[in-house]
Copies of this chain bind each other. A is one copy, B any other.
C-alpha cells in the first residue's frame, strides 16, 4: 500500500533520485519502504496546483469544507490497523498511544468541521451606511475573515498524527480555506503517506479542487527551504525544535514579501513548588511528577523540565521522593536514534556544568534507543548565572532549582525564556503570599496551571498552546483548539458592496444565520 511517492495534488509522483527509509527504534532496524524525496520541479508543481486550487477553495462553503474534513476523519478510520501498525513501526510508540493520538486527530478534524459548518468563526462585523450623515455620508462596511492562501505545514516528530500530515495545523488551514502542502516528517514518512492518501481520497469524494492538498517527502532541509521561499506560499506552520523553527522564521522574514510563520517550539515548562505544598504532600507530588516527566519518554512539548522551589527540608524531601519514584518507572523507547542521541548529548552537556548534582538516573541496562530518566538539582544562583542550564533537554529529564528565597525565585522566573506553560503547586492559602511570583510566571508563559501537571493538552476553545518566544514565534496565536484557525486568515472589508455580490456571511438577510456584530451590537447565531 505504501508507494514511497509524493502526492502532487491527486497524483503520485517520484521524479527524484534521492531516497530514504524510516526507522523502527524499538527493533533498532530500518523499515522496508523506500521514500522518494521531492524534486524542485515537484515542489513547484505542488505550489502551482495549490495556488490554482486556492482560487476555488477560498470560496467553498463551510458546509462543503465540513464534509471534506469529516471525510478525512472517515478515511483515517478506514485505514484501521494499517495506519496504527505503521505508526508504531515508525515511532516505537505503543499501540494505545497510536490509537489515542488517532482519536485526537479525528476529534480535531471533526471540531473544525463543526466550526466551519456553523460558520460564525468568520467574525462577521457590519456597520450599516448612513447616507445622510453630516458632514459626509457614512459608507456601508462589512468585514469577515478570509483565508491567506497556500499554507506549508511541517509536522512534528513527536506527534505523527495529531500534529503532522492531517494534524492541527492542516485541519485548521483547510477549515480556513487554505490549500495545504505538507513537508512530510522523515521519521514517519509511511504514516504520512497513509494519512495523505486518506486526505486525497476525501478530497476526491467531496469534489475539492485538485491541489487542495499535497504531501512532499524530504529527509533533509532543502524541500522545506524551497517551500518557505516560494512566492506563492502565504504562511507556514511548524512544530519542532527552536533551531528548526527559527530557521524557517528567518527565511520567511527575509523574503521580499515576508509571510507569517507560526512555529511551536521548545519549552521547559517551569513548575513552581511553593513551601507549604512541598511540606504537605511531597510523596503524592513526587509520584505525580515522576509520571509527568517520563510520560511518552519525556517527548512532549509540555514536559516539566524545570522544577523550582525555595530551599528547605521539605523541598529536599520532595527531591528525594521524586528521585526514588522516577527510577521505579520502566524506561521506554525514544522516537529515533537521532532523538536519543540528542537527548544524551544535551543531558551530558547539562551534567558537565558546574554545580549540578544528579539525584536520580535509571541505572539498570536498557535496550538500544531507550532513555534513562534523570533528575538533577542545582542552587538558584548557579542556575541564574548559567544560561546553558535554561536549555531544554528533550526527553525524560528534569532539573530542580533550589532558590534561597522568594526574591531569588522571582528573579529566576523573570529571567526565563518564554514558555508554553507554567505551573504553580501551592496550598490554597499560600497563593496570597506570593502574588509577585504568580505575576512573574504569567508574564513568561501562555498557560498557567494550578496544582496539576503541564502534560496533557486538552483540545478545547479555551486552550492556549503557544507563548512568548521561543515557546512560539508569535504569542498572539494558539496551535491547539479551534482558535488556531486565526493563524491562517485575515480580516477583509467590503465597502458599499452590492448585497447580491457579498459572501453569504455578510448578506443583509444573514442566510447562514451566523452570529454577527451589527452596528456594534452582537446578534447571536440562530442555530
Question: Which residues of chain A have a CB within 8 Å of any CB of chain B?
Answer: 55, 59, 120, 125-127, 136, 138-139, 141-143, 146, 148-149, 249-250, 253-254, 257-260, 417-418, 428, 431, 438-439, 442-443, 446-452, 456, 458, 460-464, 466, 468-470, 473-478, 483, 486-487, 489-498, 501, 515, 517, 520, 522, 524-525
Point out the residues of chain B lying under 8 angstroms from A473, CB to CB: 258
Complex Cα distance, B497 from A431, in Å, reads 11
Q: Are B476 and A486 in contact (CB under 8 A)?
A: yes
Task: For the complex formed, measure the closest distance between the CB of A268 and the CB atoms of chain B, giving whole angstroms.
Answer: 16
A-B contact pairs, 11 of them (CB 8 A): A120-B522, A127-B458, A127-B463, A139-B452, A143-B463, A143-B464, A257-B418, A428-B498, A446-B492, A447-B494, A449-B496
A492 near B464: Cβ-Cβ < 8 Å? yes
Q: How far is the CA of A442 from the CA of B502 in the complex (A)?
A: 12
Given A249-B253, A447-B495: 8 more A-B contacts, CB < 8 Å: A136-B456, A148-B476, A149-B443, A253-B258, A448-B494, A451-B496, A452-B496, A478-B491
- 7 closest A-B pairs by beta carbon, nearest first, are A253-B253, A464-B493, A143-B462, A447-B493, A141-B462, A449-B495, A475-B490
Which of A476, A495, A515, A522 gathers the greatest number of chain B CB atoms within 10 Å? Answer: A495
Q: CA A447 – CA B490 in complex, angstroms? A: 11
Beta-carbon contact of B522 and A515 below 8 Å? yes
Name the residue of chain B whose CB is nearest to the CB of A495: B449
- Is the pair B139, A461 in contact by a Cβ cutoff of 8 Å? no
The reply to whether B497 and A448 form a contact with Cβ atoms under 8 Å apart is yes
User: How distant is the Cα of A34 from the Cα of B458 in the complex, in angstroms?
Assistant: 59
Given contacts A253-B250, A448-B493, contact A462 B258 (CB under 8 A): no
Which one, B458, B468, B498, contacts A450 given CB within 8 A? B498
Complex partner residue of A463 from B55, B249, B493, B517, CB under 8 angstroms: B493
Q: Which of B249, B468, B492, B522 contacts A447 (CB 8 A)?
A: B492
Contact A491 B496 (CB under 8 A): no
Task: Work out how many copies of this chain go into the complex.
Answer: 2
From B449, B476, B495, A489 is in contact (CB under 8 Å) with B476
The reply to whether B260 and A463 form a contact with Cβ atoms under 8 Å apart is no
Closest Cβ of chain B: how far from A522's Cβ, in Å? 6
Give the docked Cα–Cα distance between A343 and B98 (Å): 63
Minimal Cβ-Cβ distance residue in B for A445: B492
Q: Is the CB of A442 within 8 A of B492?
A: yes
Q: A258-B249, A493-B463 are in contact. Are A141 and B458 (CB under 8 A)?
A: yes
Output the least CB separation between A475 and chain B (Å).
4
A448 to B501, CA, bound (A): 12
Check if A461 sits within 8 Å of B143, measured CB to CB: yes
List chain B residues, Cβ under 8 A from A125. Answer: 461-462, 483
Contact partners of A250 in chain B: CB under 8 A: 253-254
Shortest Cβ gap from A470 to chain B (Å):
8
Q: Cβ of A431: which chain B residues have Cβ within 8 Å of it?
A: 498, 501
CB distance from A392 to the nearest CB of B (A): 16
B residues near A139, Cβ cutoff 8 Å? 449, 452, 456, 458
A484 to chain B minimum Cβ distance, whole angstroms, is 10
Chain B residues, CB < 8 A from A126: 462
Verify B253–A476 contact, CB threshold 8 A. no
